[in-house]
Amino acid sequence: MSTPQLEKIYTPRQVEDRWYRRWIELGLFHATLTHQGEPFSIVIPPPNVTGSLHVGHALNNTLQDILVRWRRMQGRNSLWMPGTDHAGIATQNVVERRLQEEGTSREALGREAFLKRVWTWKEQSGGTIIAQLKRLGASCDWERERFTMDEGLSEAVREVFVRLHQDGLMYRGERLINWCPRCLTALSDIEVEHEDITGKLYTIRYPLADEPNTCLLVATTRPETMLGDTAVAVHPEDERYRRFIGRRVSLPLTNREIPVVGDSILVDREFGTGAVKITPAHDFNDFEAGMRHHLPRIKMMDVHAAVRLAGTQADGELSTVEGLPVPKARPKIEHILTARGLLEKIENHKMALGKCYRCKTVVEPLLSDQWFVNIKPLAEPAVQAVEDGRVRIIPETWKNNYLGWMRDIKDWCVSRQIWWGHQIPAWYCEACYGKPFLRRASDGAPLIPSDASAIVAKSAPETCPNGHRESLVQDPDVLDTWFSSALWPFSTLGWPRQTPELKMFYPTSTLVTGLDILFFWVARMIMMGLKFMGTVPFRDVYIHALVRDAEGQKMSKSKGNVIDPLHVMDEYGTDALRFTLASMSSPGRDVKLAEERIEGYRNFANKIWNAARFILMHVGGTRITPPPAQRSFPDRWILSRLNATIRTVSQDLAQYRFDRAASALYQFIWHEYCDWYLELIKPTLQAPDSPESATVRGTLVET
């Protein structure tokens, strides 16, 4: 019998690396098609390919790993499908920043060279997050790793786009969309973050055209947009203003006269002055109102959110505003209005400011031609699937959140004016619609004529319907990153081909994710899964907590309160981090990660290490399983406790109570096995030949 020499103190790093290598060598994470067990599958929420492991990833992947390893131990054919996301805007921004440091830009490089550059960047840094997941111990089936821009997944994207188009669920149209003036692209509604601020409410005098001494008082938080006003609305039943409806006011600072209309939807009599300016090209409500009253749309800013006076005959003073970005234009307009006695008052006003979720720039509503998914027909079945329990959302409290959003869902703007991503599979004929075609105008807007009809196809068509061959150009825009993510549960398994993997592992068993991407990702996967696979993409959605710092603050680089999981793993070991995250992951509560807690579980790992060390010192690698009749009282006791613990842990994990499972393990190992059992058997270990001793050995090594 050899007596292995174990260090007195557990040093995680070497042990972790050694075991991880061994697991990989033995192919333990690889799911095969020949495995007889009942399939169990999870697709990873693909991290951004340029990303680095943060503590949210650590939690998310720890929980998935626990589930997968547990099911694997139960004999299930378990697949954890890994991969990364191309993360369109985020990645493009990263590479663009690099270019800027080099004194160049994507425009200077041109599309092709730029994309080459992004791919290079992806090859260089794309492996980082994967390596970090391995460091975390993630038991993914790495042989199956996918990337959202792999050829197979891109094919799935084109297939879906074309089929949605065929079914009338994908359309192009001029709508008001959220526009990021820094990223220079459209954003979907949920890509806009709202921040509460105290802004200003300006009340401006709009004189009646035929009665200049009488003014309508109009309230606005964005006075500069008055340059794009095409009407003023009052409530049709408002006694104060009824007599003005149908007459005209002369729009200050411009030479235009605009009508006064009655609109009971737009106007809240109680708010402000009861009179609202209508700027159809720069406000969502006004856009709708503009449609109701057939008002013209005047764009008073360009894609950089800089003021344009086109459509307005500006006087000398106003022309100084031309070209100024909104934050600079606003005070100038305020100044001019004040100087001319047109500003009635300014009040403080609480409001929500929309910001780009990628770069935090203030988002502007902009009139633009974009591609949209007609989402209602897809949302309805996805609502049903959750209502009737085909998809279970855990904890259930988020179910209403999901249903509420889905029932009130707006069409999904899927086109992005960036280069990194899946280029939209639509072609236009320059011969039919004139040149220059797809070049960008000085304001950056694509020059696809609104009436140009697109030829949507999986690959470039030979000719346009009129027979032109050489004049076809592809839509320059790319798809929202979340478009390809929505297909992830089946595209990674080989769809649109009917692969054996798809048959075996779809629908997947569980999705583990954070609340922040419930709408971005989860909802869209359910919609797309139902549409293209006919079944839900997963049975359970487990929504875990958000990890905060010890003070409960959201971790952010700017606050400097970020806990780096890599640092924690170096300092305390991977198991300490994982056990901490699991044990604090109780439902309905955010995880406040405090370093002392991690230290406590580092000690736990050390405790286990030393228990093993103790056993090995006495019995080495001997493995003896005595028949039940020969088992001592302590043996029978600890075995019964062991079985009870296994039962508890299994029940807890089946209910996604990672916290309880962790505490059951902690309790058993430390306070029952170590504190009592090991102490109880110490005397018998003094007499190595006694039957009790043999029993002890067998039991210990077995467990």
Partner RNA sequence: GGGCGGAUAGCUCAAUUGGGAGAGCGCUGCCCUUACAAGGCAGAGGUCACAGGUUCGAUCCCUGUUCCGCCUACCA
The footprint of RNA on residues 154-213 (CB under 7 A) is: 176, 189-190, 194, 196, 201
Going by the DSSP 8-state scheme, the letter that residue 242 receives in this structure is G
Of 78 and 606, CB closest to RNA? 606
Helices 595-619, 574-583: inter-axial angle, 10-degree rounding: 120
Residues 8-35: b if buried by 16+ CB within 10 A, e if exposed:
eebebeebbeeebeeeeeeeebebeeee
Q: At its nearest, how many Å lie between RNA and the CB of residue 223? A: 10
Of 254 and 580, CB closest to RNA? 580
Q: Is 194 helix (H, G, I), strand (E, B) or coil?
A: strand
Residues touching RNA, count (CB under 7 A) = 80
Inter-CA distances, 591 with 336, 390, 393, 545, 659, Å: 52, 29, 19, 6, 11
Q: At its nearest, how many Å lie between RNA and the CB of residue 560? A: 17
Of 18 and 469, CB closest to RNA? 18
Q: Of residues 597, 664, 693, 699, which one binds RNA by CB under 7 A? A: 597
Report the amino acid identity of residue 252: P
Residues 362 and 351: their CA atoms lie apart, in Å, by 13
Q: Counting contacts by CB under 7 A, is residue 657 touching RNA? A: yes
Q: At its nearest, how many Å lie between RNA and the CB of residue 658? A: 11
Binding segment for RNA among 24-32, 179-187, 378-386, 659-667 (CB under 7 A)?
A: 659-667
- Residue 602 contacts residue 579 (beta carbons within 8 Å): no
Q: Of residues 588, 627, 629, 686, which one binds RNA by CB under 7 A? A: 588
Of 118 and 278, CB closest to RNA? 278
Residue 321 structure tokens? 């505003």
Q: Counting contacts by CB under 7 A, is residue 659 touching RNA? A: yes
Q: At its nearest, how many Å lie between RNA and the CB of residue 195? A: 8
Q: At its nearest, how many Å lie between RNA and the CB of residue 388? A: 21
Q: Counting contacts by CB under 7 A, is residue 106 touching RNA? A: no
Peptide bond into 12 cis (omega under 30): no
Q: Counting contacts by CB under 7 A, is residue 141 touching RNA? A: no
Helices of type H across 26-110: 55-73, 88-101, 106-109
Residues 558-587 close enough to bind RNA by CB under 7 A: 584, 586
Residues 214-253 close enough to bind RNA by CB under 7 A: 219-222
Residues 353-382 close enough to bind RNA by CB under 7 A: 354, 365
Of 119 and 676, CB closest to RNA? 676
Q: Of residues 100, 124, 463, 603, which one binds RNA by CB under 7 A? A: 603
Binding segment for RNA among 93-101, 297-305, 309-317, 588-596 (CB under 7 A)?
A: 588-596
Q: At its nearest, how many Å lie between RNA and the CB of residue 248? A: 19
The helix (H) or strand (E) run that includes residue 500 is: helix 500-505
Of 277 and 631, CB closest to RNA? 277
Residues 456-475 close enough to bind RNA by CB under 7 A: none
Helices 595-619, 565-572: inter-axial angle, 10-degree rounding: 40
Residues 481-540 close enough to bind RNA by CB under 7 A: 515-516, 519
Spatial CA neighbour of 379 closest among 350, 411, 348: 411
Residue 410 structure tokens? 């707006």
Q: Counting contacts by CB under 7 A, is residue 276 touching RNA? A: yes
Inter-CA distances, 615 with 12, 609, 622, 670, Å: 19, 10, 10, 15
Q: Is 574 helix (H, G, I), strand (E, B) or coil?
A: helix
Q: Is 461 helix (H, G, I), strand (E, B) or coil?
A: coil
Q: Of residues 163, 247, 269, 390, which one binds RNA by CB under 7 A? A: 269
- Residue 555 contacts residue 592 (beta carbons within 8 Å): no
Of 31 and 366, CB closest to RNA? 366
Residues 7-46 close enough to bind RNA by CB under 7 A: 8-11
Q: Counting contacts by CB under 7 A, is residue 592 touching RNA? A: yes
Residues 186 and 172: their CA atoms lie apart, in Å, by 13
Residues 610-629 close enough to bind RNA by CB under 7 A: 610-611, 613-614, 617
Strands 77-81 and 39-43, sheet pairing = parallel
Of 139 and 279, CB closest to RNA? 279
Q: Counting contacts by CB under 7 A, is residue 605 touching RNA? A: yes
Q: Counting contacts by CB under 7 A, is residue 54 touching RNA? A: no
